[in-house]
Amino acid sequence: MSVTLQSWHRIWSELGARDADEKLFHRLVACWSEPHRHYHTLLHLRECLDRLETSRDQARYPAEIELSLWFHDAYYDPTRKDNEARSADWAHDAVLRAGLPDAVAERIRALVMATQHTAAPEEPDQRLMVDVDLAILGADPERFDESDRQIRTEYAHMADGPYREGRKAILSGFLGRPRLYGTEPFHAALDARARVNLARALARL
């Protein structure tokens, strides 16, 4: 799916907003284009949007998930621990400024926060949101390995030892889950390949 003003206007129209803030669109594109990003870039956003496009029939509120994807890594500073919270608050405030109901703003905030990946969500749209974000784990081996290198580059400020230990903990945590994906279509399509990718990445550390 393209990252264009046309698609931006469509999202807000589907949400029922009175208009789409074009300045916000350009600000978000600038965030996703920051020079310190190597994996969390517009390519990652496009990959997520493409995954959602083929899975919209699984969503209760697909436009809410789509907008949440725009915001889910809007703030991305590898030296901070509050990126998701800051991004979620930004999304929440933007939705309210557009004149949409509090319930929509709260659902979108929760969707963004679900991408912290601290626990498997119970709410169906949050499960789909998380699966879309984690689809990279089940990508073809070349793309997965590329993403692994890109993430290391984003953490260039960390020495090899601490980085390896932290990365091992994250990847082992995913690999140890009974299910990597919460929705059945993602589980069926990606779980097996994701486990092979994760095992290969862990062997490199």
Tell me the per-residue pLDDT of 44-71, one tens digit each, with 9 for 90 and over. 999 999 999 999 999 999 999 999 999 9
Kindly give the residue spans of alpha helices, DSSP state H, lying in the chain: 5-15, 22-32, 42-53, 62-71, 83-97, 102-114, 124-133, 141-154, 160-175, 184-204
CB-based contact 106:161 (threshold 8 Å): no
| 5-204 belongs to CATH 1.10.10.10 | no
pLDDT at res. 1: 60
| Per-residue tokens: 2 | 């393209």
Q: What does the domain layout of the chain look like in residue ranges?
A: 5-204
pLDDT at res. 26: 98
Write down the pTM of the prediction. Answer: 0.96
Short-list 109, 127, 122, 136, CA closest to 50? 136
